[in-house]
Structure 1
Amino acid sequence: MSALNVVAVKVLHTSDWHIGRTFHGADLLAEQEAVLGHLAGLVTSEAVDVVVVAGDIYDRAVPSAEAVRVATAALARIRRAGAQLVITPGNHDSGPRLGAFAEFAAAGGLHVRATVAGLAEPVLLADEHGEVAFYGLPYLEPEPSRHALGVPEARGHTGVLTEAMRRVREDLATRPGTRSVVLAHAFVTGGNASESERTIAVGGVEQVPGSVFDGVDYVALGHLHGPQTLAEHLRYSGSPLAYSFSEARQRKSVWLIDLDAAGLAEVRRHELPVPRPLATLRGELSELLSAPEHDEWTGHFLSVTLTDRVRPVDAMRKLRDRFPHAVHLDWQPESGHAGAELKYAEAVRGRSDIEIARNFLDDCRGAPPSDREETLVFLALEAADRAAVAKL
């Protein structure tokens, strides 16, 4: 237990760092390192006592060496800034790997709660009003967790989280007057998902009611990537970076929580810097490449929709000559040609092989094949016929 010697414990709630994630193939480590470095400065400027990270520190169970370096550097900077850390694994992390040296890390102020067996063993910190208990619930995969928790009758995420919170409340009852913070990685009913979260649905049901978390002063949620408030004490911080274009308008942030003698005193939102913004562009390729009003987007991650009647050749390379961070390309001609749906049986009925191939090329790019292309297709079909006959 650490004595903080403050009037009110100040907590910073963040989650879903997803270190090592790429964005449509673009490496994000530099952007992740920049925004996580801002957290250390915030710890100093806001006199934060504890930083809680509610899961998905990494984007995969076995992160790259470079991702581990970025995570270690971020955690070390936060610790040097003066805050204790409490972290839990999310559905993208490996609990055993994340918690491998938890006992040793705790001595340096990094408290990892990564096991089912230890979820009701809080990290205890103290101020002049007494103790604050931080309970870290690792992501609980329903099937193995119901057996590990000794409740084989439990069903889905609601079942295992209900048992986990029963244990938390049972422990909390032995600590009268203790204020409490719970970290949990889950999809709580009422939250709004983005396109970048990996589903945690089991049997079609992934959501859990917020009432599961009743009885504690603050619940620091992770998993959903948009910052949101489900109740005054029940919040998602969201991810520090946008990981899909559906998040382009989200203002990424963290929560700053004050706990006074009575419990939850105040929650404030702090918006994070945006190392590289996201934007979408739509238009014909020639206009996008030449119009001066598009100069402002050269530093953005871009999703581009081309509206040319004929699909342009080598469009992404041309776009990247002007927009180096263009990462996604779609083609939706204004005629609506690309969006037309035709069942396969209707598309080939009564047509020769060469007609089917010609129509396929036309559908794919909005223009029929040239004479030379049609000759090449004809020769390829003839060669395929000869090969088929030779096998008979």
Structure 2
Amino acid sequence: MRVLHTADFHAGRNLRGLDRTPEVHEALLEIAGLARSEKADVVLVSGDLFDTVNPSAEAEAAVFDFFLRLRDAGIPAVAIAGNHDSAARLHGLAGLLGWVGVQLVAQPTANPLDLIRTVETRGGERLTVGALPFLSERRLVKAADVLGGDVGAWRQKYREGMGFFLRKLAEGFRGDSVNMLMLHATMDGATPSGSERTMQFDLMNAYTLSPLQLPAGAQYVALGHVHKPQQSCEMPLAYYPGSVIQLDFGEGGEKKQVNLVEVEAGRPARVTPIPLTSGRELRTVRVKLDQVESRLAALGGFDGLVKVVVQAPGGTALPGLKDRVLRQVPNTLAVELDAVQDDLALPELKREGLSLAELYERFHNERRGELPTDLRAAFHEADEAARGEAEEVVA
């Protein structure tokens, strides 16, 4: 059996005012073509089909066109909802998508065995997939526990809740079937992209799963959520294929891929990454103020998207800087100023000795206004727990 595993389309992603949906659509057309050329029996999509809970018509068209092309090739698919998707919206579409061969699991039910999906391949083989969509941490851990209890305790509650579902899904595995697990979650030790959403990942990363919680009966675990392609576990074999294009500048330089999984019932799976070529390359360039023209001239032949970070003394007024950059590199999406001397010139801006929670509070106050009390409490509690864990490691 040949299974093509992909995830994290994020159709509808907007980067600095630029709609990336046409690039996502291009990548999905490439993946559909690979499913056909690689003679895939099934395609697995591990969540985050869309970038927002209310995607544009163009984003929906890109995703639905992908599934229609799989239908035209006679290739069934199993997909789950991710944290960026509207579970309710996708649940409402599940019936329609079923008519084109897509088994979409968007919401858990009272009976976890309802999350089991089976596919009979053209070769007569059976694939059993334990399909677990993204489960909001708030559903598994009450807010009161987060704000009032021990951090280690609410993290453990999340693991226990997820563990319940994983154990139940494993009960649906069959000895005469290829058995796979699919989920949208963060595994311990997962390496994120150098994303612009690093704070978001840090918060999300408080809720992680241990590889020890993955059922041993799964021949392959199809993961989604982390955008950097990587193997997460060897026993059972678990992989993140990553996002289908470089979605933000933090992913610049990453090579995107899908995974081809070759497997038969009762035998170990073999995984082959297949590189993707779609999507514009993203690049971040750091230049000193007096080298803007000379350094950026070298990007004349680069047809990707650029973020330029200009290093200049703090307090320097730089009228016309963006125009200077755009004259050199018209495909620049963002020009940012790195006032490298601010911390030295103004004692009140020094960051040394501040905790993560204090740094975040300063950031929030400057950019979004006063930090809400409940969020401040959660950050301080998480910071104290992190310090405690670090002290234990040192000890």
Q: What TM-score, normalized to structure 2?
A: 0.75
In the alignment, which residue of structure 2 is the partner of 1:137?
A: 132
Letter in 2 for 1:265: A
2:80 aligned to which of 65, 75, 88: 88
The question of 1:25 aligning with 2:17 is answered yes
Could you tell me how far apart the structure 2 residues matched to 1:320 and 1:115 are? Answer: 46
3-state SS in 1 of match to 2:274 = strand
In the alignment, which residue of structure 1 is the partner of 2:34?
A: 42
Could you tell me how far apart the structure 2 residues matched to 1:315 and 1:39 are? Answer: 40
- Contact in 1 for aligned 2:155/2:206 (Cα 8 Å): no
Could you tell me how far apart the structure 2 residues matched to 1:231 and 1:307 are? Answer: 41
3-state SS in 1 of match to 2:300 = helix
- Contact in 1 for aligned 2:343/2:349 (Cα 8 Å): no
Q: 1:286 to 1:294 in 2, by over 3 A?
A: farther
Could you tell me how far apart the structure 1 residues matched to 2:247 and 2:280 are? Answer: 12
In the alignment, which residue of structure 1 is the partner of 2:57?
A: 65
3-state SS in 2 of match to 1:208 = coil
Letter in 2 for 1:14: T
> Per-residue deviation at 1:134?
1.5
Letter in 2 for 1:115: Q
Could you tell me how far apart the structure 2 residues matched to 1:294 and 1:100 are? Answer: 47
In the alignment, which residue of structure 1 is the partner of 2:232?
A: 230
> Per-residue deviation at 1:328?
2.3
In the alignment, which residue of structure 1 is the partner of 2:46?
A: 54
> Per-residue deviation at 1:35?
1.2
Q: 1:145 to 1:281 in 2, by over 3 A?
A: closer
Matches within 5 A, 1:206-221: 206-214=207-215, 215-221=217-223
The question of 1:271 aligning with 2:266 is answered no
Could you tell me how far apart the structure 2 residues matched to 1:157 and 1:200 are? Answer: 16
Q: 1:331 to 1:180 in 2, by over 3 A?
A: same
Could you tell me how far apart the structure 1 residues matched to 2:287 and 2:238 are? Answer: 42
* Alpha-carbon displacement from aligned partner over 1:67-101 (angstroms, at most 9, x marks no partner): 11222122222332332111101111111101213
**Matched residues, number:** 327
3-state SS in 2 of match to 1:221 = strand
- Contact in 1 for aligned 2:130/2:170 (Cα 8 Å): no
> Per-residue deviation at 1:236?
0.5
Matches within 5 A, 1:358-373: none
In the alignment, which residue of structure 1 is the partner of 2:192?
A: 193
Q: Which range is displaced more, 68-77 or 190-199? A: 190-199
In the alignment, which residue of structure 1 is the partner of 2:159?
A: 158
> Per-residue deviation at 1:176?
3.2
In the alignment, which residue of structure 1 is the partner of 2:308?
A: 304
In the alignment, which residue of structure 2 is the partner of 1:120?
A: 113
In the alignment, which residue of structure 1 is the partner of 2:388?
A: none
Could you tell me how far apart the structure 2 residues matched to 1:244 and 1:327 are? Answer: 11
> Per-residue deviation at 1:286?
6.8
Letter in 2 for 1:230: S
Identity %: 26
Q: 1:136 to 1:341 in 2, by over 3 A?
A: farther
> Per-residue deviation at 1:125?
1.9
- Contact in 2 for aligned 1:10/1:48 (Cα 8 Å): yes
> Per-residue deviation at 1:266?
1.2
Letter in 1 for 2:331: H
* Alpha-carbon displacement from aligned partner over 1:144-196 (angstroms, at most 9, x marks no partner): 2579xxxxx99543122101111112222xx3322211110111012112225
Q: What TM-score, normalized to structure 1?
A: 0.76
In the alignment, which residue of structure 2 is the partner of 1:170?
A: 171
3-state SS in 2 of match to 1:216 = coil
- Contact in 1 for aligned 2:253/2:283 (Cα 8 Å): no
Could you tell me how far apart the structure 1 residues matched to 2:341 and 2:71 are? Answer: 56
> Per-residue deviation at 1:46?
0.3
Could you tell me how far apart the structure 2 residues matched to 1:280 and 1:143 are? Answer: 35
Q: 1:143 to 1:331 in 2, by over 3 A?
A: closer
Letter in 1 for 2:159: T
Q: Aligned-residue CA RMSD in angstroms? A: 2.7
Could you tell me how far apart the structure 1 residues matched to 2:103 and 2:310 are? Answer: 49
3-state SS in 1 of match to 2:52 = coil
> Per-residue deviation at 1:38?
0.4
Could you tell me how far apart the structure 2 residues matched to 1:345 and 1:141 are? Answer: 36
Q: 1:295 to 1:275 in 2, by over 3 A?
A: same
- Contact in 2 for aligned 1:140/1:160 (Cα 8 Å): no
- Contact in 1 for aligned 2:219/2:269 (Cα 8 Å): no
- Contact in 2 for aligned 1:20/1:67 (Cα 8 Å): yes
1:318 aligned to which of 324, 327, 339: 324
Q: 1:209 to 1:154 in 2, by over 3 A?
A: closer
3-state SS in 1 of match to 2:113 = coil
Q: 1:235 to 1:345 in 2, by over 3 A?
A: closer
The unaligned stretches of length 5 or more in structure 1 are 1-8, 148-152, 347-392
In the alignment, which residue of structure 2 is the partner of 1:180?
A: 179
> Per-residue deviation at 1:66?
2.0
1:294 aligned to which of 293, 299, 305: 299
Could you tell me how far apart the structure 2 residues matched to 1:305 and 1:92 are? Answer: 29
Q: 1:281 to 1:146 in 2, by over 3 A?
A: closer
> Per-residue deviation at 1:36?
1.3
> Per-residue deviation at 1:238?
0.6
Matches within 5 A, 1:240-259: 240-259=244-263
In the alignment, which residue of structure 1 is the partner of 2:2?
A: 10
- Contact in 2 for aligned 1:302/1:326 (Cα 8 Å): yes
3-state SS in 2 of match to 1:101 = helix
